[in-house]
Amino acid sequence: MANNDEHKGNWWIWKVFWILLGVTAFEVALGIIQPEYLVGTKVLGTSLLNQIFIILTLVKAGYIVMIFMHLGFEKNSLKWTILLPALILIPYLLFIILTEGDYASIMMQ
């Protein structure tokens, strides 16, 4: 079915595995070391370290959804039907709720 030529072997599965493992190991290493420069630099309301964590998480999520869940090889119409609600609604929700959380923090003081 959707199993086209590039999916004959298993190498692509293990490639993604090593990427996910490598990224996770890198995150854990950063989390344990807590490099001072990354913790001290603030970007968009949180530390540069946290921003790196979030970006790496999105990279991992991308590999899982696109390769493991095969969404990258589905028809474009299906791909965007799945992705758009999440890509629009989740950042929207986060923006509203985190802004409100920040405001609540100011109100408490």
Partner 1 sequence: MSQTTNEISNWGGGNRPYVASYGKLMMWFFLITDALTFSAFLSGYGFSRFKYGEVWPSAEDVFTHFPFLHGDHPLLFVALMTFILIMSSVTMVLAVNYGHKMQKKKVILWLSLTIVGGFMFLGSQAWEWGHFIHGDKAAIQTHTLEVFHIAKDNELSSVYELMGVDGHDGTHHHFSVEEVGEALHSNTEYGIRISDKTYLDHEAAVKYYDKNAQEVLIGANLHNNEYGQGLFADYFFFITGFHGFHVFSGVIILLIILINVIKGTYEKRGHYEMVEKVGLYWHFVDLVWVFVFTFFYLV
Residues at the interface with partner 1 (CB under 8 A): 1, 3, 7, 10, 13-14, 16-17, 20-21, 24-25, 27-28, 31-32, 34, 46, 50, 53-54, 56-57, 60-61, 64-65, 68-70, 74-75, 77-78, 81-82, 85-86, 89-90, 93-94, 97-98, 100-102, 104-105, 108
Nearer to partner 1 by C-beta: 41 or 57?
Answer: 57
Q: Residue 36 CB, nearest distance to partner 1 (Å)?
A: 15
CB of 14 to partner 1, least distance (A): 7
User: Which pairs count as long-range contacts for 18-24, CB under 8 Å and 24+ apart, including other chains?
Assistant: 19/63, 20/60, 20/63, 20/64, 23/56, 23/59, 23/60, 24/60
| Alpha carbons 98 and 76: distance in angstroms, whole number | 32
* CB of residue 51 to partner 1, shortest distance in Å: 9
CA distance linking residue 29 with residue 23, whole number of Å: 10
Tokens of 20: 């996910």
